[in-house]
């Protein structure tokens, strides 16, 4: 029995999302990540919420440009601290709890706890194959969802989350914002450089697959390889500039209802 695939009829989701939902039926974990859950080692179940909404224009109003308009996606930056994922940009999510009824429950609960998103405005539409995060020994189920009735989002617990942002897909696919980072001598990861944010690792890998499958990706220079520490320092400098200017990419405390 498959543990991933559409949860709804793809015809019932917005046109820009249908290709993604359909693709989950035949998706394989090794198409998304080189790290898959091990057969042993007792990994802990976890979920992330991959939440897309119709994009908003700079004034915050719903984007009604039609089929060619790109959505935005909800991301957060974890607070600095001792956790293995401290300071990283991620999808909302976390470890499963005993009371959760499955990966969808986990993803919605964690997203509400971290960003204040209202679950009643979120429609889960598909499950992606389980992936593995070795540093935390998590077996992660990405839950693809449509934010059909966006609610205000913001940092709920500053000890856990430093920032919450609705990031325009148009910014993610901009070739100027894409490169690879060299993670020590171990591997190279896709990366997205945005004001105040460096997206890399698990989240960047999953975003890369989503952008490609959805048909949103644009050609970019995969020969541009930067040291992770250098890219992180550049993101920190842009965050300082952003804070001084009082602006950022999609960072928000509010959200407009869109369909």
In the chain, what is the straight-line distance between the N-terminal and C-terminal CA atoms, in Å? Answer: 33
Give the pLDDT confidence score for residue 61 in this predicted structure. 41
Domains, the chain, with CATH or none: 5-245 (3.90.79.10)
Angle at which helix 15-23 crosses helix 201-214, to 10 degrees, equals 110
Give the pLDDT confidence score for residue 257 in this predicted structure. 32
Q: How is the chain split among helix, strand and coil, in percent rounded to 5?
A: 25, 30, 45
Which helix (H) or strand (E) element contains residue 231?
A: helix 228-245
Interatomic CA distance for residues 51 and 133, integer angstroms: 20
Give the pLDDT confidence score for residue 35 in this predicted structure. 75
Give the pLDDT confidence score for residue 225 in this predicted structure. 97
Interatomic CA distance for residues 21 and 11, integer angstroms: 9
Residue 126 tokens, joined: 């598909």
Interatomic CA distance for residues 80 and 188, integer angstroms: 23
Q: Is 102 exposed, middle or buried (0-12, 13-18, 19+ CB in 10 A)?
A: middle
Taking the CA atoms of the chain, what radius of gyration do you get in angstroms?
17
Give the pLDDT confidence score for residue 195 in this predicted structure. 86
Tens-of-pLDDT digits for all 259 residues of the chain?
468 999 999 999 999 999 999 999 999 988 998 777 777 778 999 999 999 999 754 334 444 444 458 999 999 999 987 666 678 999 999 999 999 999 999 999 999 999 999 999 999 999 999 999 988 999 999 999 999 999 999 999 999 999 999 999 999 999 999 999 999 887 899 999 998 899 999 999 999 999 999 999 999 999 999 999 999 999 988 877 766 666 555 555 433 333 3
Give residue 25's region: left, alpha or beta (phi > 0; psi -120 to 50). Answer: alpha
Sign of CA dihedral 83, 85, 90, 92: negative
Interatomic CA distance for residues 183 and 231, integer angstroms: 11
Give the pLDDT confidence score for residue 40 in this predicted structure. 76
| N residues, the chain | 259
- Pick the closest to residue 50 from 104, 5, 10 (CA basis): 104
Q: Is 222 exposed, middle or buried (0-12, 13-18, 19+ CB in 10 A)?
A: exposed
Give the pLDDT confidence score for residue 144 in this predicted structure. 99
3-state SS assignment for residue 190: strand
Give the pLDDT confidence score for residue 201 in this predicted structure. 94
């Amino acid at each position: 029995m498959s543990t991933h695939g559409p949860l709804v009829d793809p015809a019932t989701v917005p046109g820009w999302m249908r290709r993604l939902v359909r693709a989950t039926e035949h998706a394989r974990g090794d198409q998304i990540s080189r790290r898959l859950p091990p057969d042993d080692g007792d990994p802990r179940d976890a979920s992330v919420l991959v939440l897309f909404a119709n994009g908003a224009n700079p004034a915050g109003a719903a984007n009604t440009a039609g089929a060619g308009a790109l959505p935005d996606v909800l991301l957060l930056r974890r607070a600095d601290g001792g956790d293995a994922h401290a300071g990283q940009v991620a999808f909302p999510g976390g470890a499963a709890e005993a009371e959760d009824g499955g990966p969808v429950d986990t993803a919605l609960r964690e997203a509400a706890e971290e960003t204040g998103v209202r679950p009643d405005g979120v429609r889960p539409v598909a499950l992606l194959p389980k992936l593995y995060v070795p540093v935390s020994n998590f077996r992660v189920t990405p839950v693809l969802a449509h934010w059909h009735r966006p609610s205000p989002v913001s940092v709920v617990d500053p000890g856990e989350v430093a920032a919450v942002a609705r990031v325009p897909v148009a910014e993610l696919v901009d070739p100027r914002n894409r490169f690879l980072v060299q993670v020590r001598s171990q591997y190279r990861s896709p990366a997205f450089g945005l004001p105040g944010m460096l997206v890399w690792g698990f989240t960047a890998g999953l975003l890369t697959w989503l952008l490609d499958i959805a048909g949103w990706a644009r050609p970019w220079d995969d020969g541009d390889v930067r040291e992770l520490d250098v890219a992180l320092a550049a993101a920190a400098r842009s965050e300082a500039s952003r804070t001084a200017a009082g602006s950022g990419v999609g960072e928000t405390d509010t959200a407009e209802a869109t369909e």
